[in-house]
Amino acid sequence: MEERKRGFNINLSPKLVVWILIALALIASLSTSFFVVDQSEQAVIIRFGRYMRTLGPGLHFKLPFGIEENINIPTQKVQTLTFGYRSQDNSGSLVGAREYTDESTMLTGDLNIVDVEWIVQYRIANPKSYLFSVKDKETTIRDISQSIMNQLVGDLPILSVMTNQRTQIEYDVQKEMQKIFDRYGFGLEIVTVKLQNIVPPKGDVQDAFEDVNKAIQDMNRLINEGKQYYNQEIPSARGEAEKIVAEAKGYASERVNQAKGDTARFDAMREEYQKNPNITATRLYIEAMGDILSSDGNLTLIDSSLDNFLPIAKIGQNAKKEMENEQ
């Protein structure tokens, strides 16, 4: 038994112990020296709390044993802050806004109270500035956004805030927040500011504004119906007007051409009359009498002294009968 116990005894030389310690230190060094940065991240390297460098995605080396520390920052991720309400971590269900009325309750330019809920989406554009410029980052973003929103809402009447100025408010809040972030070097980029619910306090005030909104909706509906009727009737009226104009132009062209023909005939007749006045006058008289006598109207000839008259129509009828009898 004593021989077996002696067989398990390991006698390590000091030199071997040193090599083992060196190997362990080397393994520990390698395990704390290499790190990976994801595609959506950038890594900030600090040495004893002092900024050293910023690294992009990939496998990187740093000094081991805590001499250098890497802080991976999600620079591509869009982060969201809600105001006036909160969403739970995983379920996504909203927490009632009653707990956050200090954020949402605001005074408008016409001294009305309104509850405004909105979101701010941002991303980290400069990891170094983001880490070292602001200590309490979320609180700072909330304070700036809430201050700007209060100022803009306080410059407008409540009806404008609830209706036609929503988009302008979103744009102005985003622009003013970005100005402040750039001025103080926060390293943040505002992606969007989106208004959610804008309602007056519950009670008589809310009921009154619901009536106003209903009246506005009715007004817009009537305006749209009027525009629809206008769009239906105007093309029809234009078509009718174009038709009348075309007919008028055709009639005018016909009358002009007829007048030109009459003028040409008159000019030709005048030339003939100037050449042979008596013959032309006689011919015109005969043509006129031929037209008169050939008409079907009830025609009577009376002499200048009104003593005698001749019923031309009856003569013409009797002549027709005689011609028919002869045939």
Per-residue pLDDT of 102-137, as tens digits, reads 888 899 998 888 899 999 999 999 999 999 988 889
**pLDDT confidence bin for 24, thresholds 50/70/90:** low
pLDDT above 50 (res 139) = yes
Residue 94, both tokens: 């909203």
22 φ, ψ (degrees, to nearest 5): -65, -40
User: Taking residues 169-189, what's their average pLDDT?
Assistant: 95
How far is residue 195's CA from residue 172's CA, in Å, rounded to a whole number? 12
Position 12: which residue type?
L
pTM of the model: 0.57
User: Taking residues 155-171, what's their average pLDDT?
Assistant: 91
Q: Give 210 or 253, the one with higher predicted confidence.
A: 253
Half-sphere exposure of 181 (CA within 13 A, CB side): 28
Among 212, 215, 192, 197, smallest CA distance to 110 is for: 212
How far is residue 118's CA from residue 193's CA, in Å, rounded to a whole number? 7
**pLDDT confidence bin for 240, thresholds 50/70/90:** confident
pLDDT above 90 (res 281) = no
- Collapsing DSSP to helix, strand or coil, 271 comes out as helix
68-73 β-sheet, strand order: 50-55, 42-47, 68-73
pLDDT above 90 (res 16) = no
Contact between 33 and 61 under an 8 Å Cβ cutoff? The reply is yes
Q: Please count the helices (runs of H) and the strands (runs of E) in the chain.
A: 10, 13
Q: Give 41 or 240, the one with higher predicted confidence.
A: 41
Residue 229's pLDDT is 84
- The secondary structure of residue 93, as a DSSP letter, is P
Residue 97's pLDDT is 44
Backbone Cα Rg of the chain: 52
User: Taking residues 204-217, what's their average pLDDT?
Assistant: 74
Residue 91's pLDDT is 46
Residue 4's pLDDT is 47
Q: What is the 3-state secondary structure (H, E, C) of 147-187?
A: HHHHHHHHCCCHHHHHCCCHHHHHHHHHHHHHHHHHHHCCC
Among 173, 208, 206, smallest CA distance to 191 is for: 173
Q: How far is CA 185 from the centre of its chain?
A: 33
Report the phi/psi class of residue 237: left, alpha or beta, with left for phi > 0 and alpha for psi in -120 to 50: alpha
Q: Where are the beta strands (DSSP E) in 157-204?
A: 188-199
Residue 130's pLDDT is 93
**pLDDT confidence bin for 81, thresholds 50/70/90:** very high
In whole angstroms, how far apart are CA 40 and each of 56, 58, 124, 177, 314?
Answer: 9, 11, 11, 24, 114
Among 156, 152, 153, 162, smallest CA distance to 216 is for: 162
How far is residue 257's CA from residue 264's CA, in Å, rounded to a whole number? 10
pLDDT above 60 (res 238) = yes
Residue 151, both tokens: 């100022």
pLDDT above 80 (res 201) = no
Residue 92's pLDDT is 45
**pLDDT confidence bin for 166, thresholds 50/70/90:** very high
What does 115-143 look like in DSSP terms, one character per residue? EEEEEEEEEES-HHHHHHH-SSHHHHHHH
Sign of CA dihedral 158, 162, 163, 169: positive
pLDDT above 90 (res 259) = no
Residue 270, both tokens: 């005048």
| Range in 12-26, 36-50, 265-279, 311-325 with the lowest mean pLDDT | 311-325
User: Taking residues 243-247, what's their average pLDDT?
Assistant: 87
pLDDT above 70 (res 78) = yes
Position 286: which residue type?
I
User: Taking residues 79-106, what's their average pLDDT?
Assistant: 71
pLDDT above 60 (res 280) = yes
- Collapsing DSSP to helix, strand or coil, 95 comes out as strand
pLDDT above 60 (res 313) = no
